Amino acid sequence: MLMYDLIIYDCHILTPDNHIRRNYDLVIDAGKIADLQPTGQIDLGQAHELLEGREMVAMPGLINTHAHVPMVIFRGLAEDISIERWFNEFMWPLESNLIEEDVYWGMLLGLVEMIEAGVTTVADHYFFMDQAAKAVEQAGMRAALGWAVFGSQGYGALDETAAFVERWQGRANGRITTWMAPHAPYTCADDFLRATVAHAKRLGVGIHIHAAEEIGQTQASLQKRGLTPIQVLAQTGMLDVPLIIAHGCGILPQDIDLLKQAAAPVGIAHAPKTYLKLGMGLTPILPLREAGIPVGLATDGAVSNNTLDIFESLRLMAMLQKHEARNPEIMTIPQALEIATRDSAAVVGLADKIGQITPGYLADIILVDLSGAHHQPLHSLTASLVYNTRASDVQTVIINGEIIMRDRHILTLDKAEIIRQVNCSMERLAQRVPDKRIQVYNP
Amino acid sequence: MLMYDLIIYDCHILTPDNHIRRNYDLVIDAGKIADLQPTGQIDLGQAHELLEGREMVAMPGLINTHAHVPMVIFRGLAEDISIERWFNEFMWPLESNLIEEDVYWGMLLGLVEMIEAGVTTVADHYFFMDQAAKAVEQAGMRAALGWAVFGSQGYGALDETAAFVERWQGRANGRITTWMAPHAPYTCADDFLRATVAHAKRLGVGIHIHAAEEIGQTQASLQKRGLTPIQVLAQTGMLDVPLIIAHGCGILPQDIDLLKQAAAPVGIAHAPKTYLKLGMGLTPILPLREAGIPVGLATDGAVSNNTLDIFESLRLMAMLQKHEARNPEIMTIPQALEIATRDSAAVVGLADKIGQITPGYLADIILVDLSGAHHQPLHSLTASLVYNTRASDVQTVIINGEIIMRDRHILTLDKAEIIRQVNCSMERLAQRVPDKRIQVYNP
């Protein structure tokens, strides 16, 4: 008899067009989705392992298209302040305290938080990324990792980030992809960006960068050099390789035309909680989508977002689009779910592998429990996924066909030990030494 | 030896000025807060009952200053539509299906959801309110209840809502207060509002009403009769009795001057999730607060908000104020917590009884567990309360000195049976009969 690795039986399934099929069985084998059928048609005896899915929705694992996961170690340290003070008086001074070990434990802590919240893939942009990669490998997570670099660090540092790309590309059973990760046009000179593109082309990878984070940056760039940050990306060849642009709240209409003509895939990472908290405005999602440029959900780091909760990003994204347009009919539930699933997969360059429950796709699946009082009665399961679901409703997390969390218990990591280790360094990490910072914010 | 009803030991306490005192013991007796002392100073043998508070914050129970709790039975039925269609094609047709029993079970379901989310007081505005009051009594909740009435129902109906006020005022060990509850100036003629004021004065109670819900209503009122909705309230004597005004997104600067001069306490209920989802704009919180008019947090009903989660309202309120002003330095964490606690208590007329952990105040207290990965490391407990806390972090709920939820298990209600009962009526409740509605929206 043909045996499968895993069958999830009697669950509801979120379809690729973002509707619900009730009472289905989902077959997983060799890390991929093998089959889905109405409950009762598949012989459950064919499974090495069974998971019951009653009152749960099986949906694609959530994708965090832009984060600085290890920053969880600093969360709560920079509140109610301007973006300039956030960088210059808090974030960049705090980051001068970082040692390799902090990144390892911080990454693990952030991975615990994300797995518990149903995130199965993260595009991370930070320092000491060998440590982050090691943590991803242990956790069983999928990740698109880039070692962040400022122009001020010089070409030697850039070469090292390229060496990281080579070292980890395709590792952890293919769960890790690697990206070049220059910080931003306002911290990297044009030649530095061009050198990054050369590395990306040589290595066959993409680039993950911050750009046009808010309109003030765009205005400063226009004033200093007559070019928007997106025009700088175009002129330095960045649009010739796959590109993740973080934030883009300062993207102008002419920038969208440029992005539309990009020679390689480009996607925008949207982290609404950060934008609200720092008063940055919002990414122009509707015109970007109209131009065919995918927008994905993100959290950014936990010092601005405070948490790494993509269900919260999803809900905020949808509600804020309605609010800004004063039009409740836009950004419908299926559209919001499309952004959370297929479009987020496209942003991290994995549109043909994750983000939908379709046979042949990788088995990155979460089971969301909709039996709680805050979902009942369940007139609309998709409305509940967008507007009612809390991170704590995620019951089970499967990545690459492996069960990573079962009944809210993470199987791959020792959560208590991770929290203990992070707490040991709290005091050292919170110190801000006058004039000690890794960079100055002056876009 | 002097014996107390309950001691919560070794918790952190949110102070009335919204900072944290670490490691305190909290003494509760005869339904009130009796004492608080640094851990170790009180003899725990003096307590009939003990609760451990390690890694938890004891804070005032949350207050939902405006809801239609039983509407949970319709949640998810009216998504992605305009406010006109929301009322005329969905909400008011759906409410023609209501029978008394629906309100009873719906109220119980909503109370379960709120208690699980740390809400200990709700100002509710709905129909068949004897059923709602019965549910509140059973749940052990605190509530300010008003029987909603439209002018089209006539003075007989108004008299019945006044009879409800008399019937339930002070019942359930004082946990229930009652309010008159005319729907809105656009659905109640001036004389009807005047008659409501007469009832309120005669009964010594306040009035809970919707007004200036969004700017379109204000403009329509100005066009039709040259008065803003708030001016209508002033002219009909509504400002001479305690008043809860729901929403107020259409309040103009001249309205704020009027409210400032009100002869009796007036407060505004702010339900941001509803406003985002329906594109209604936002309550002008900052000028209201500057004028000394308290603004409280609310959810509105679950057909617009989808959930009854005041932690979500708190977070949205704070973030949206920063966003609208493009200024991250406003609506600081202590200010946001002030709105969630003392100001919300003021809105529901209980400023001297609830909303702070101070000896002599009623013991409406929740324990929030901050040990989860999404709070760690805990550099700032107050930042975590505003920006990280999920409803599911609420561990224990105490109302009037009674433990209502312990370790996330509600002691007063049978949750499974309530969900079963609501599900029995789902199909009937979801029907929309053409042209059958309880009212027409045409402000």
Q: Span A302-324, mean pLDDT? A: 98
Closest residue to B373, CB basis, from A113, A326, A329: A113
Is cis: bond before B377, omega within 30 of 0?
yes
**A73 vs B377: CB contact, 8 Å cut-off?**
yes
Nearest CA distance, B190 vs chain A (angstrom): 30
Provide the CA A313 distance to its chain's centre, in angstroms. 10
- Which residue in B374, B375, B426 has the most chain A C-beta atoms within 10 A of its own C-beta, making it the best mutation to test that interface? B374
User: Which chain B residues touch A73 with a CB distance below 8 Å?
Assistant: 377
Would residue A10 be called left, alpha or beta, if left means φ above 0 and alpha means ψ between -120 and 50 degrees? Answer: left
Considering only CB atoms, B328 lies closest to which of A277, A374, A384, namely: A277
Q: Which two tokens stand for residue B433?
A: 């009969």
Could A374 and B82 be called an inter-chain contact, meaning their C-beta atoms sit closer than 8 Å? no
Q: Please indicate whether, in this complex, the C-beta atoms of A322 and B77 are within 8 angstroms of each other.
A: no
Give the separation between CA B209 and CA B123, rounded to whole angstroms: 11
Question: In this complex, which of B325, B390, B419 lies closest to A390 when CB atoms are compared?
Answer: B390
Tens of pLDDT, residue by residue over B320-366, are 999 999 999 999 999 999 999 999 999 999 999 999 999 999 999 99
Q: How far, in whole angstroms, is CA A188 from its chain's centroid?
A: 23
Architecture of the domain delimited by B62-347: Alpha-Beta Barrel (3.20)
Domain assignments of chain A as residue spans, ordered by start: 4-60+355-410, 62-347
- Under CATH, domain A4-60+355-410 is a member of which superfamily? Urease, subunit C, domain 1 (2.30.40.10)
Residue A1 has pLDDT above 80, yes or no: no
DSSP string computed for B234-286: HHTTGGGS-EEEEE-TT--HHHHHHHHT-SS-EEEEE-HHHHHHTT-----HH
- For residue B143, name the pLDDT band (cuts at 50, 70, 90): very high
Phi and psi at residue A124, in whole multiples of 5°?
Answer: -110, 145
Q: At what angle do helices B154-168 and B129-139 cross, to 10 degrees?
A: 20
For the purposes of burial, counting CB atoms within 10 Å of the CB of B253, is it exposed (0-12), middle (13-18) or buried (19 or more)?
exposed
Residue A117 has pLDDT above 90, yes or no: yes
Q: What is the pLDDT of residues A279-291, one digit of tens each?
A: 999 999 999 999 9
Span B163-181, average pLDDT: 98
Collapse the DSSP code of B174 into the 3-class scheme (helix H, G, I; strand E, B; otherwise coil) and give the result: coil
> Which whole number is the average pLDDT over B306-318?
98
Q: Do A415 and B309 touch (CB under 8 A)?
A: no
For residues B145 and B135, what is the distance between their CA atoms, to the nearest angstrom?
12
Q: Given an 8 Å threshold on Cβ–Cβ distance, is A388 in contact with B278?
A: no
Q: What whole-number distance in Å separates Cα of residue A348 and Cα of residue A364?
A: 14
Taking only the tens place, the pLDDT of each residue in A198-226 is: 999 999 999 999 999 999 999 999 999 99
Mean confidence (pLDDT) of chain B: 97
pLDDT attached to residue B437: 85
ipTM score assigned to the predicted complex: 0.97
Name chain A contacts of B320, Cβ cutoff 8 Å. 276
- Is B80 close to A276, i.e. CB distance below 8 A? no
Kindly indicate the confidence band of residue B443, based on its pLDDT and cuts at 50, 70 and 90.
Answer: confident
Interface test with A, best of B275, B323, B428 (most A CBs within 10 A): B323
| Minimal C-alpha gap between A322 and chain B (Å) | 6
pLDDT tops 90 at residue A436: no
d(CA A322, CA A332) in angstroms, rounded, equals 9
SS (H, E, C) B77-117: CCCCCCHHHHHHHHHHHHHCCCCHHHHHHHHHHHHHHHHHC
Which pLDDT does position A78 carry in this prediction? 94
Q: How confident is the model at residue A2 (pLDDT cuts 50, 70, 90)?
A: confident
Task: Evaluate if residue B41 carries a pLDDT over 70.
Answer: yes
Residues in chain A: 443
* Residue B315: pLDDT band with limits 50, 70, 90: very high
* Residue pairs between chains A and B whose CB atoms are closer than 8 Å: 176
> Looking at residue B1, what is its pLDDT?
66
Q: How near does any CA of chain B get to the CA of A38, in Å?
A: 23
**Which residues on B lie below 8 Å from A338 (Cβ)?**
none
**Residues B387-442: tens digit of each pLDDT:** 999 999 999 999 999 999 999 999 999 999 999 999 999 889 888 887 788 888 88
Give B209 to chain A, closest Cα distance, Å. 24
- B357 vs B28, B72, B389, CA distance in Å? 11, 31, 19
**How many Cβ atoms sit within 10 Å of the Cβ of residue A144?**
28
Name the maximum alpha-carbon separation found in chain A.
70
State pLDDT tens for residues A211-265. 999 999 999 999 999 999 999 999 999 999 999 999 999 999 999 999 999 999 9
Per DSSP bridges, beta strands A20-29 and A4-14 are antiparallel
Which H, E and C letters describe chain A, residue by residue? CCCEEEEEEEEEEECCCCCEEEEEEEEEECCEEEEEEECCCCCHHHEEEEEECCCEEEEECEEEEEECHHHHHHCCCCCCCCHHHHHHHHHHHHHCCCCHHHHHHHHHHHHHHHHHCCEEEEEEEECCHHHHHHHHHHHCCEEEEEEEECHHHHHHHHHHHHHHHHHHCCCCCCCEEEEEEECCCCCCCHHHHHHHHHHHHHHCCCEEEEECCCHHHHHHHHHHHCCCHHHHHHHCCHHHCCEEEEECCCCCHHHHHHHHCCCCCEEEEECHHHHHHCCCCCCCHHHHHHCCCCEEECCCCCCCCCCCCHHHHHHHHHHHHHHHHCCCCCCCHHHHHHHHHHHHHHHCCCCCCCCCCCCCCECCEEEEECCCHHHCCCCCHHHHHHHCCCHHHEEEEEECCEEEEECCEECCCCHHHHHHHHHHCHHHHHCCCCCCCCCCCCC
Mark yes or no for CB contact B391/A390 under 8 Å.
yes
A112 contacts in chain B (CB < 8 Å): 373
pLDDT at B327: 97
> How far B311 CA lies from chain A's nearest CA (Å)?
12
And the tokens for A155? 């070409």
Query: Is-contact B282 B275, C-beta < 8 A?
Result: yes
A chain contacts of residue B81, beta-carbon cutoff 8 Å: 328-329
Q: How confident is the model at residue B264 (pLDDT cuts 50, 70, 90)?
A: very high
Q: pLDDT tens for residues A15-48?
A: 999 999 999 999 999 999 999 999 999 999 999 9
Q: What pLDDT, in 10s, does the model give residues A322-339? A: 999 999 999 999 999 999
CATH number of B4-60+355-408: 2.30.40.10
Q: How far is B158 from chain A (nearest CA, A)?
A: 32
Give the pLDDT of residue A441.
Answer: 87
Inter-chain residue contact B279 with A328, CB threshold 8 Å? yes
Set of chain A residues whose Cβ sits within 8 Å of the Cβ of B422: 376-377
pLDDT for position B436 = 84
**Cis before A377? omega within 30:** yes
Task: Tell which residue, B148, B163, B79, B68, has the closest CA to residue B114.
Answer: B68
pLDDT digits (tens, 9 = 90+) for B57-102: 999 999 999 999 999 999 999 999 998 999 899 989 999 989 999 9
Q: Which amino acid is at B267?
A: G
Which of B277, B325, B333 is closest, CB to CB, to A279? B325
Contact A26, A359 (CB under 8 A): no
d(CA A49, CA A60): 20
Residues B29, B6: contact at Cβ < 8 Å? yes
Question: Residue A80: its chain B contacts at CB < 8 A?
Answer: 328-329, 331-333
Q: Residue B76: its chain A contacts at CB < 8 A?
A: 378-380, 383-384, 387-388
